[in-house]
Amino acid sequence: MFHKILKVIVPLSLLLLQACSDNSDISSTEQENTNAGTTESSKTYFTDEGYEIGQCQPVFYGLKIFVPEENAFYICANNNRWIKVRVNDDYEEPASSSSTWVEEFPVDSVHIIIDTLPYSSSSAVCDLYWNSDYDDYIYAYPNDKANNDSASHRLADGGVFLNILQGGSYSVRFQKGSDTIAPELSLYHYSTYTTTIQAQDSIDYWYFPINAENLKSSDFYKTRLHNKDCSFYKEPTKGFLFEGSGKYSSHFNINLIVIGKYMGTSDKASETTLAETIKARMNEALNNGGVFVDKITVLHAHEHELHGQMFPEDSAYVLPYGRVFANYSLLEKWNGHENALNLMLGYYIDRPNILGFAPRFGGHLDASIPNYSYVVLGTHNRVTGKPTAQSSNDIAETAVHEAGHFLGLRHTSSSKNDMEGDLDKSNVEDGLEDTPYCAKVNTSENIDNCPDRRNIIFPYSSDKTERTYSGEQVEQIRKNLTLMVH
Ligand SMILES: [Zn+2]
């Protein structure tokens, strides 16, 4: 018999509410302005290592100069500004050259850090503008390929909150219309002005590199898209895409944190066996796609240095559903096991048929800022009456699904629950080319024939015979992982 078991996440809005209200150092945020240090347009430019690359003038727009000694390209952008694009040591210069450099050197093809150099065009500092026509906030998360039509629409005057982690290299882009004058993108941290970025031109879209290496905090940054005189950009903005990649490893560790008494599995697996099953299943799902779990460590909540006494080892721990009001965050930091993906394991989740939950976006691995960043799993499931033990394989399957969410994956098709939690009603699926979409998931129709029902990130547990994330899912995980401190 087909059992439809929900695996849901805490509504996105709940997470965001917390993420936004939890910042305690708003007032101490320093202003940054990467426009500082402008130079005369006629001045020739010398690179970091002292190579003279001359002036960036209209006649040189699109010119690329490769400086092997610095593992970097210098590109003359259409605002008289040299952009430095650093590439990996093993990067080989392409044989052909093209003026559409963004396509030739896509930010995700190699690990690239974009440094902005002083440039000549001056830019006004525009006031942060709150459009009272909008009473809701639109958020964007790196490497999310869903439609995000609302983000496209709001980029200018409504503003979109971009989730930016310190140290990463990001970009925002959208399709060009008939406009020929490059807009500017200003980012604000709460009421503090942060930076203005000039649009880079390519054939099809306006492109804004965002260098977060020197940002003071990982947080949400609000956009304002405008012209040089600060008037709002009026052209239609379509095809919004927010991407990012960082410098951190694509290998990571997992902590399996057993809370309370370990209640066992239906196949009598020990904690260690369950942990190894989860690790093996994760690595199988990642399918040699460039992301690897190196180590899994079993930790016991009652042995936690600071909060152990709150979680006695001799009583089963029923897991509260939801993160904000639970005690899980007390168990996020473990000396010697920092910056790993924390899986909180208890008896059962106190909501029928919920096998696990995790933040879909906005998670991180940084133990220094505990902030509801973990996956919660039960060894048992309870509908009514006595809880039922699950097998170690089923628990591992749920761990793989929830870890996928934690690392940024949407459900292949959005469930009713997802749609209620997402303010952007265009996000009916994950936007990935290699995962099919099933409209029935959002209705009460039978989902047995959904083409994506075999994918690990299908919202319901059904015949998930695909053992691996899809290629694009792994790539999305990889990019997000490189943004997370670990
Ligand atoms: Zn899910």
Q: Which residues of 442-477 are buried (b: 16+ CB within 10 A; e: fewer)?
A: beeeebeebebbebbbbbbbbebebebbbebbbbbb
Distance 239 CA to ligand 1 centre (A): 26
Stronger pLDDT, 29 or 147, i.e. the higher one? 147
Distance 5 CA to ligand 1 centre (A): 11
Mean pLDDT across the stretch 434-457?
Answer: 88
- The ipTM (two decimal places) reads 1.00
pLDDT digits (tens, 9 = 90+) for 152-189: 999 988 889 999 988 899 999 999 888 888 999 988 87
Judge: domain 5-20+249-483, CATH 2.170.190.11.
no
Banded model confidence at residue 66, pLDDT cuts 50, 70, 90: confident
For 422, how many CA atoms within 13 A lie in the half-sphere containing its CB? Answer: 28
pLDDT digits (tens, 9 = 90+) for 260-306: 999 999 999 999 999 999 999 999 999 889 999 999 999 999 999 99
Say yes or no to pLDDT of 404 above 50: yes
Banded model confidence at residue 376, pLDDT cuts 50, 70, 90: very high
pLDDT of 344 reads 96
Nearest by Cα to 78 from 176, 188, 154: 176
State which fold the 123-245 domain adopts: Jelly Rolls (2.60.120)
Distance 404 CA to ligand 1 centre (A): 8
pLDDT of 103 reads 31
Distance 421 CA to ligand 1 centre (A): 13
Write down the domain spans for the chain. Answer: 5-20+249-483, 45-119, 123-245
Say yes or no to pLDDT of 10 above 50: no
pLDDT of 121 reads 39
Q: Are 5-20+249-483 and 123-245 equal in CATH topology?
A: no
Three-state secondary structure call for residue 211: strand
d(C-alpha 249, C-alpha 476), whole Å: 14
pLDDT digits (tens, 9 = 90+) for 252-271: 999 999 999 999 999 999 99
Nearest by Cα to 334 from 302, 356, 381, 288: 302
Distance 387 CA to ligand 1 centre (A): 21
Banded model confidence at residue 117, pLDDT cuts 50, 70, 90: very low
Banded model confidence at residue 58, pLDDT cuts 50, 70, 90: low
